[in-house]
Chain A
Amino acid sequence: MVFLSYSYLFLFLPGAVLLCRASVTRAALRTPALLLTGIVYYSLAAGLPQLALLLAMTFVTFKGVGELMTSPVASRQRLGLMVVVADLAVLAAFKLGEAGILGPVGRVLPLGISFYTFNLVSYGLDVRRRQTAPAPSFLSLAAFSTFFPTVAAGPLLRYGHFREQESGARRLDAELLELGALSLIVGLAKKTLVADPLGAAIEPLFADYERLGLDAWLAVTGYAYQLYFDFSGYTDMAIGAAALLGFRLPPNFNAPYTAVHITDFWQRWHMTMSQWFRDYLFLPLSRALLRRRPSLDGADGVRAVCLVFTMVVIGLWHGATWSFLAWGLFHGLLLAGHARLRLARGFSIPVGVSRALTFVAVLVGWVLLRSPSPGMAARIWGAMAGLHGWGASSLHSRGPLLAAVIVLLVATNAPLERYLLHAGRSAFRSWALAVLLVLALLSMGARRPFLYFQF
């Protein structure tokens, strides 16, 4: 079952909301009801064997952390580390398996394993740091790890924040209901009306990449928007579903393509992931390395090492392939470079120029994710640099795509999303949302290939 299906939107989600609303006033039923929705969703979406793995990892984490809390201080550190390593080892095994590095082992990546593993790891680390109380029961931790709005692709959650809401009254006031409904509509529209058609339009350009010239910019920009609308659309639907259940989730995107520099970009793109790595890898690593230095002056090298290392790990978290590794390294070097420039006194460039350069840098990085081979990436970069002329595409054939990309460039730089989600409750906005919703629902309808039109 996927978010973009009639069965999810009209059967499962309403059923889950009704079940959770009915049980929220009874403390004893609240957590089991929520867990049930997570189990049903995950087993329909991924199957029972993968559900068993998720629950097993949750159980091991729950038990390990429980032991940690009753252990003497000296062994807490070791136990905490063992729990984290156990979770990460499972994730690493599947990532390496998916990349074919472990032979036939683990070729299929379990649904959401990158996300729920990190949720469990953050739980273990937060409890060890005394930042969060341990889960009162396995059911509570399992309700967290199987939380269906976010289990497949985030946003990443922190157990403490989740528990606060899960154990509370979770009143579904009209404002939260509004947030839920509108986020679902906007997310659905982003995926069906923008991301999917855009993906279909740019596919032939990438399939025929060896004939790309300067029209590679069109393909790569289209890909950048496809990625953003696909991922942020999913996130909006997750936030919407969670709101209907009475949960407020943290935002995951904040107009990333309006970033004024690369550091700003990473504060706007996949924010819960950036924050996760900042809190659990970057800061601890930075402190550890700084403590080894006799003086804190001139620690630029340490900064660069920490930034590059963290970004490489972020790349590998996405996938254990050369392209993710290269992409992480690319962004790590950009961040380190930007930090160095920022600290150089007297260096400044106009905001508009900086914003454009940042967007171009991000586009260059996305080429790595879109290219299954280094050769393809190099060919596309060469085309973007003008080494292969204008390209084989004619304006006649690419005109609609160019128009769409220009519209999206304007739309993502204007506060359109904010208007749709948070502006005043005018009749115009209501109609706009109604049109988006109906168009999105119609786009989900049955499609047959190769229907020819007579005119």
Chain B
Amino acid sequence: MLNEPPTPAARERPPAASFLRGLAARSLLLLVAAISLNLLVDPFGVHGGRLFEPIVLRTRAPKLRLYEQARPAPAIVILGSSRSFSMEPQYVAARTSRRAFNAAVAGAGVRDYLDFARCMAARNSFPSMLIVAMGVEQATLDARAHERDDAMTDCLDPQKAFWERAQAYRGLVTLEETWASLRLLGLELTGRPAPAYSFGPDGMTRGPGTSRLRVEQAVDDSLAAAWAPSLFDRDRLDPRSVGQFRQVLELCREHGAKAIVYLPPYHPRALARYLKESHFASGRARLLEQLGSWAKEYPLRSYDFTEVNRFGGRDDMFEDASHPTEEANRRMLDIMLAGETQGHGLP
């Protein structure tokens, strides 16, 4: 009798309590596995693991580090978003005989310009000229991309840096970081492709570019996503962006620096839609009016390059709806730097 197999009734499904215990144990195991994976792989490079190169595009920390390493300190700094990535510092240097640096960062907002300007001031290396890209979207929205561990806090508020680093550990329990860990692990096993962007010592950012055959599709894709007309729904300048840029201009005046502000171009097809379907025209008008008003108070001049004919550009000088090519940037620089060729020589 002792060795008889259990009856069918005894082999019934497990009771609820043991099912729940099993479920809890499995859940805890999976959660601990996810957290451990994120700690080990550290896809965003914020937990200090450094087992692998981070997967995320970081532009702020690398650009700040490159700027600090640039010797002598650059006399001209370009501030902008990814739309200014291909503005060549070497071309600026050739036109002006002064060392230049491209400090454009991905998804930049006016707040990023202020942070970078403050960092330069804090390092006692404020340039003598800023070339700043101010898109209508940046002036009407107080929005920017966030990058973890962007090094700005180290520069501006060292006391806060520790707490911010501690906050980064919250990312360990996010789906986004777990997915990034898995992707990174997969790429490490199958072979990582070359990074999408690379930075030169002068901040020049080179990316994969868009094949000429795919540009029209890229314009459509970006118009359907991040660069849809709804980006220009507001016709008023954002007061925070205005306040932040005024602080940039104050820093310029304080350090005896000039500011050249330009409105970067949009692909003609995209611009046509923005003019028809959004408040782009009134946003642009208000921005130009504000820049004109600032020009009376600060050492500033501004250029409106939103339409390609304003700098002798063409439809084929774009990667997508909003990112101009190197050639387009050169043409804009030719106009902006026309009076700056009498340089002070390379320091």
Contact = CB atoms under 8 A, between A and B. Distances in A.
Direct contact between A and B judged by beta carbons closer than 8 A: yes
A434 B197 contact: no
Interface stretch (A57-65, A141-149, A267-275, A425-433): A425-433
Interface string B94-118: 0000000000001100000000000
B14 A453 contact: no
Q: Which of A396, A439, A445 has the most CB of B within 10 A?
A: A445
A106 B16 CA distance: 48
Contact of A451 (B22, B23, B176, B229): B176
Interface in B173-197: 173-178, 180, 183, 187, 192-193, 195-197
A442 B175 contact: yes
A454 B146 contact: no
A177 B23 contact: no
Contact of A174 (B17, B183, B221): B17
B16 A208 contact: no
Contact of A438 (B31, B56, B196, B228): B31
Contacts of A178: 16, 19-20
B224 interface: yes
Nearest to A397: B224
B296 interface: no
B301 to A, nearest CB: 31
Contact of A393 (B22, B26, B30, B224): B224
Contacts of B44: 451
A230 to B, nearest CB: 18
How big is chain B's contact interface, by range?
35 or more
Nearest to B44: A451
B56 A207 contact: no
Nearest to A454: B57
B210 to A, nearest CB: 15
B13 interface: yes
Contact of A430 (B22, B107, B148): B22
Contact of A445 (B19, B22, B174): B174
Interface in A5-19: none
Given A397-B221, A454-B56, A441 B173 contact: yes
Q: Which of A425, A433, A439, A443 has the most CB of B within 10 A?
A: A425
B175 A445 contact: yes
B146 A448 contact: yes
Interface of B: 13-17, 19-20, 22-23, 26-27, 29-31, 34, 44, 55-57, 106-107, 143-148, 170-171, 173-178, 180, 183, 187, 192-193, 195-197, 220-221, 224-225, 228-230
Given A397-B221, A430-B26, A433-B23, 9 more contacts: A173-B16, A177-B17, A208-B224, A394-B220, A430-B22, A443-B175, A450-B145, A451-B145, A451-B176
